Amino acid sequence: MRRFPPTIPKSSRLLYGAIGIAIFFAVWWILTAPMFTEVETRRVAIDGPTGEVESYKEVRHEVSRAIVNPPGLETPGNTFRRAFEIGLPQHILASTLRILIGFLISVSLAVPLGIAMGLFPRLRALVSPIVSLMRPLPSIAWVPLFAIWFGVDETQKLAVIFVGSFAAALIYTVEATLKVDPDLIRAATNLGAGRRQLLTRVLLPAALPNILSGLKVVLAICWTCVISAEIVGGQFGLGTLIWTKKELSDTAAVLVGMASISVVVLVMDAAFTLAERRLVPWMFLRRGAS
């Protein structure tokens, strides 16, 4: 019987991944590289003897055309070149630092509260309605209000990241705590574990893998928050870069900003997985065994 879900060796996975990326760039290049020439009629203003516009002439102008022309979309080569012209490292650094600080503030409050909510149903009943009201609000909705309350400096940006990620971090933690196998708690209690031991030796280690999985998602949510927060008042940051360059129809720079977010998220994700391996090594042993 075939194994389910079907898998392929790691080397094949890498090969298929590389082919997928190559296809993506090939399609992009096909869409944007000049493929044919087109004769276009352009109006050209003709100045009279006084230097003022006197008439217009129609000039036949041969232009190289692609399926999608700039400023709609630049070629991969032009987009790649643009990455070196727009001070990208400063923008990446600014956004990443904001994310990390905002994420840490959010997590340091949401995780203890989430565990407490998982353990105490009355507290859960008290806080849940507020979280339910906050959760559907997209981070961008907070931007105008926070600009008035906190200005447009770092406080405003961290506040947007915090409110945008707090509810998600809290819900993941509550869910992870509620999912802990009650038999584990019962067994530990029967073996004489005290409250503190139950919390530190049983509940936390059992809930941690699910908490960390949730926080990985929260970290990605933080990126949507920082891009919203950087719409206003930013000097540096990928959000500032994207919004400013959009005003100049500089689509190559906008794409570079977007691609940078993806790359940084991938790097952060890998770093998070490494941290997970350190914090919950048994989860990876279990996954490896299965």
Partner 1 sequence: MRIVAGLLLALLSLGCGAQDDDTIVYAGSAWYGHAPVWVGIQKGIFKKHGFRVEERKFGSSSDRINALEADNAQFASLGEVAMLTAMSRDRRGFYWIGCQNIAPGNEGLVAVGGITSIADLKGKKIALQRITSIHLTVALLLEEAGLDITKDVTVVNVTDSTVVDIVRRGDAAAGGMWEPYYTDLRELDGATVLGTDKDTSIYKRFQTMSGPDVICASKAWVDKDPARAKRFFEAYWEAVAWCKAHPTELLDLVVAHIGKERVAVEIALKNFQWLTWDEQRDMLSNDRMFGQAQVASELLQRLGQLESIPEFKNWTRLDWFQQ
* Contact footprint for partner 1 (CB under 8 A): 42-45, 47, 51-53, 55-56, 70-71, 144, 147-148, 151-153, 232-235, 240, 244, 246-250
Query: Closest distance between partner 1 and the C-beta of residue 70, in Å?
Result: 8
Locate 189 and state its tokens.
């209690």
| Cα torsion 226, 231, 235, 241: sign | positive
Q: What angle do CA 110, 112, 116 make, to 5 degrees?
A: 110
Query: Closest distance between partner 1 and the C-beta of residue 40, in Å?
Result: 9
Buried b (16+ CB within 10 A) or exposed e, 186-223: eebeeeebeeeebeeebbeebbbbbbbebbbebbbbbb
Q: Cis bond leading into 5, ω under 30°?
A: yes
- Picking from 124, 142, 85, 92, the residue whose alpha carbon sits closest to that of residue 267 is 92
Residue 87 or 281 having the CB closest to partner 1: 87
Spatial distance between the Cα atoms of 51 and 135, rounded to a whole number of angstroms: 63
Q: Which residue has the tokens 């232009």?
A: 63
Residue 183 or 247 having the CB closest to partner 1: 247
Q: Cis bond leading into 71, ω under 30°?
A: yes
Query: Closest distance between partner 1 and the C-beta of residue 235, in Å?
Result: 7
Q: H/E element holding 88?
A: helix 88-119
64 secondary structure, DSSP code = E
Query: Closest distance between partner 1 and the C-beta of residue 99, in Å?
Result: 20
Q: Which residue has the tokens 């299965």?
A: 290
Query: Closest distance between partner 1 and the C-beta of residue 45, in Å?
Result: 4
Residue 17 or 71 having the CB closest to partner 1: 71
Residue 17 or 151 having the CB closest to partner 1: 151
R_g of the chain computed on alpha carbons: 27
Query: Closest distance between partner 1 and the C-beta of residue 62, in Å?
Result: 15
Residue 132 or 155 having the CB closest to partner 1: 155
Residue 208 or 255 having the CB closest to partner 1: 255
Residue 131 or 242 having the CB closest to partner 1: 242
Query: Closest distance between partner 1 and the C-beta of residue 14, in Å?
Result: 39
Reduced to 3 states, what is the DSSP secondary structure of residue 224? helix
